[in-house]
Structures are given as C-alpha cells and as structure tokens.
Amino acid sequence: GMHERKAAMARNADAFIALPGGYGTLDELLEVIAWAQLGIHTKPVGLLNVEGYYDFLLAFIDKAVDDGFIRPAHRHIFVSAPDARDLVRKLEEYVAVEEDDPAAPKLRWEIEQVGYKATLHAGIAR
C-alpha cells in the first residue's frame, strides 16, 4: 500500500524533490518535511518551483512561521529553486540544522505504522 511505497522511497532516497503536482505530491512532500522536522531523517528536500508553481505554498509556510505555527529553524528544512540546475546545487549544499531542543523527538515508527519491520528512523536516516 501507500505506507510501504513511501517507506521504500524514503529508505532508498538520497534527497527528495517535488515537481509541480497535485494532492499526492503535496502529501509526499509534507510527509518528508514532517519527518525531517521530527528528526527522522536529515536528507535534503527540494521544491522545483517551475514558473512560480509553489509560490503560494511558500507564502503559506512563511505565514505559518510568522504566526508561530512553524519554528523558524524548520522553515529551512527544504529548499526551492525555479530551475533544476539551481535546485540540485542547493540540495548538494544543504546542511541539516541540528537542534538541541528536546521537543523535537527522534520518533521510532514500528511496522503497523509504516509497513516494515525496521523502524522508520533506522530505515531512512542517513
């Protein structure tokens, strides 16, 4: 199912790139961003913002930071660029922000949640 596919994608990826897309793309994008926020992985996440496709999403995330719903350090979990060359460069230069905040737990997801025996943290962490 969906959980198994996402878990396999996450385990095997060196980075995550979202192209313009619909609900499925947003679901996968926000899930890998949330996993990074929770400390489950430190892999770079990128938005290919072709012709400003993701401008409204980026504005929403900036507003959520301004309103206190997203921590400023978590705004930098992902990078964006209007073309593939710039995005790849940003992904290659990406350095995950390490937090000393105990409120960002290292979650361990077991088989019933992601569909495989190893924990998600062990399976997709760098």
How would you classify the pairing of strands 45-48 and 78-81?
Answer: parallel
| Residue 108 near residue 120, CB atoms below 8 Å | yes
- What pLDDT, in 10s, does the model give residues 71-105? 999 999 999 999 999 999 999 999 987 765 544 44
Chain mean pLDDT for the chain: 83
Confidence of residue 6 (pLDDT cuts 50, 70, 90): confident
Q: Residue 58 CB: number of other CB atoms within 10 A? A: 15
Residue 29 confidence (pLDDT): 95
Average pLDDT rounded to a whole number, residues 112-120: 47
Give the predicted TM-score (pTM) of the model: 0.75
16 - beta bridge partners? 45
Domains recognised in the chain with CATH numbers: 2-124 (3.40.50.450)
